[in-house]
Amino acid sequence: MKQLGIDNFSGKRVWIIGASSGIGEACANALLKLGAKVALSSRRQERLEQIARTAKPEQTLILPLDVTIQGQMTSAHQNILKNWGGVDLLLFVSGMYVPLRADNFDIYIAEQTIDANLLGPMRAVAAVLPGMLREHAGHIAIVGSVAGYSGLPKALAYGPSKAGIINFCETLYYDLLPQGVSVHMISPGFVATEATAQNDFEMPALITADQAASEILSGIEKGEFDIHFPKRFSGFLKFLRILPYPLYFWIVRRFVKI
Ligand SMILES: NC(=O)c1ccc[n+]([C@@H]2O[C@H](COP(=O)([O-])OP(=O)(O)OC[C@H]3O[C@@H](n4cnc5c(N)ncnc54)[C@H](OP(=O)(O)O)[C@@H]3O)[C@@H](O)[C@H]2O)c1
C-alpha cells in the first residue's frame, strides 16, 4: 500500500502554520500561485496580511495564532471548518531555534522549544485528525529537521524537539496509511531564512526558501513520506547516523567547529 500524493493543488484547502516568514512564507506564495486556498497562521498578523494581498480575497484566511496556546489552535481550526468545511493539507512549518549547549543550558528555553516544536504540531494534528479520519482523506505534513536524525552540537533542546517529530510522523504513518490519510515528514538541511541569518558559520549546502518550498511541494505531490533536502547534505547525515557512535562523534567533531 502506498500513500497518496496531491496531483493538483488548485482549490485544495491548505492550512499553513508558520506562514509569516522563511520556508512557510515561500510555501504559501507557491501554493497561492498554484491556485490553492491557503489559511495563513503564525503570530505576526501583519506579515500574514502582506502575503494575502498577493492573492484573491477568497483564496486566503488570516488566522493568527501562537502554536503553544491550545485555545488559539482550536479556534483557528473552527474558523477554517466554518469557512471552508475542512482541511485537505495541514502544513506545519513553524519552529524556533535557540542555540543551547551544556554551559548555557536553560530549562525555560528548553520547555518553550519542546512546547513550540513538538507539542505545537501535536496540537495542530489533534485538531485536523477527526475530520480527516471521518473523510478517509487528507495530508499531514510536518517540518522537522535533519538535526533530528542524531545528536548535533548546540542543539540541546532543538535537536530533541526535532527527533520527536521524526518519531511522531513515523508513528502516525502506521495508523493513517490504512485510513487513506497521508503523512509527510519534512527534514530540511540549511535554508537561508530569518532563523539562519544569525548563524556565524558557513552553512554547508545552503539553499533558498523558494528551493525548499519547491522540494516540499514536489514531495507532497508524489506522496512521499520522507521528504529531505538538499540530498547532498541530508543524504550524508542519513549515512552518518548508521555509523557506530565512536566514528559518528569523531566525524561530527571534525566537521563542526565545537
Ligand atoms: N532554515 C533552516 O535552515 C532550517 C533547517 C531545518 C529545519 N528548519 C525548520 O523549518 C521551519 C521554518 O523555519 P525557517 O527557517 O523558515 O524560520 P523562520 O523564518 O524564523 O520562520 C519560523 C516561522 O515559525 C513561526 N513561529 C515561530 N514560533 C511560533 C509560535 N509560537 N506560534 C506560531 N508561529 C510561530 C514564525 O512566525 P511568527 O513569528 O509570526 O509567529 C515563522 O512564520 C522550522 O520548523 C525550522 O525548525 C529550518
The pLDDT value given to residue 255: 86
Q: What is the CATH number of domain 13-255?
A: 3.40.50.720
Going from the Cα of 257 to the center of ligand 1, the distance in angstroms, rounded, reads 24
Can you say how many angstroms the Cα of residue 1 is from the centroid of all Cα atoms in its chain? 25
- Measured CA to CA in angstroms, residue 220 lies from 7, 9, 36, 162 at distances of 9, 10, 14, 20
* Whether the predicted model's global pTM rises above the 0.95 cut: yes
Residues 156/101, Cβ–Cβ less than 8 Å: yes
pLDDT band, very low/low/confident/very high, at 182 (cuts 50, 70, 90): very high
pLDDT in tens, 197-228: 988 888 999 999 999 999 999 999 999 999 99
Nearest CA to ligand 1 atom 41: 43
Please check the confidence at residue 257 and state whether its pLDDT lies above 80. no
**Distance between CA atoms of residues 191 and 24, nearest Å:** 12
Going from the Cα of 245 to the center of ligand 1, the distance in angstroms, rounded, reads 30
**Distance between CA atoms of residues 114 and 231, nearest Å:** 27
Question: Residue 39: helix, strand or coil by DSSP?
Answer: strand
User: Stretch 223-248: mean pLDDT, rounded?
Assistant: 97
Residues 96/20, Cβ–Cβ less than 8 Å: no
- Which residues does 73 contact at the CB level (< 8 Å), separation at least 6? 65, 67, 123, 124, 127
Going from the Cα of 34 to the center of ligand 1, the distance in angstroms, rounded, reads 23
Going from the Cα of 22 to the center of ligand 1, the distance in angstroms, rounded, reads 7
Going from the Cα of 16 to the center of ligand 1, the distance in angstroms, rounded, reads 11
pLDDT in tens, 101-156: 999 999 999 999 999 999 999 999 999 999 999 999 999 999 999 999 999 999 99
Ligand 1, residues 17, 23, 70, 161: which to mutate, most atoms within 8 A of Cβ?
23
Residue 98 carries which DSSP code? -
The pLDDT value given to residue 198: 83
The pLDDT value given to residue 65: 98
The pLDDT value given to residue 199: 85
User: Stretch 3-8: mean pLDDT, rounded?
Assistant: 96
The pLDDT value given to residue 202: 87
User: Stretch 76-104: mean pLDDT, rounded?
Assistant: 97
2 half-sphere exposure, CB direction, 13 A CA radius: 6
pLDDT in tens, 33-60: 999 999 999 999 999 999 999 999 999 9
Residues 23/143, Cβ–Cβ less than 8 Å: yes
Nearest CA to ligand 1 atom 8: 145
- Other CB atoms within 10 A of residue 88 CB: 20
The pLDDT value given to residue 258: 65
Ligand 1, residues 77, 96, 194, 203: which to mutate, most atoms within 8 A of Cβ?
96
User: Stretch 180-193: mean pLDDT, rounded?
Assistant: 98
pLDDT band, very low/low/confident/very high, at 232 (cuts 50, 70, 90): very high
- DSSP letters spanning 172-223: HHHHHGGGT-EEEEEEE--EESHHHHT--SPPTT-EEHHHHHHHHHHHHHHT
pLDDT band, very low/low/confident/very high, at 7 (cuts 50, 70, 90): very high
The pLDDT value given to residue 32: 98
Ligand 1 contacts (CB < 6 A) are: 18-24, 42-44, 47, 66-68, 93-97, 116, 143, 145, 188, 190-191, 193-196
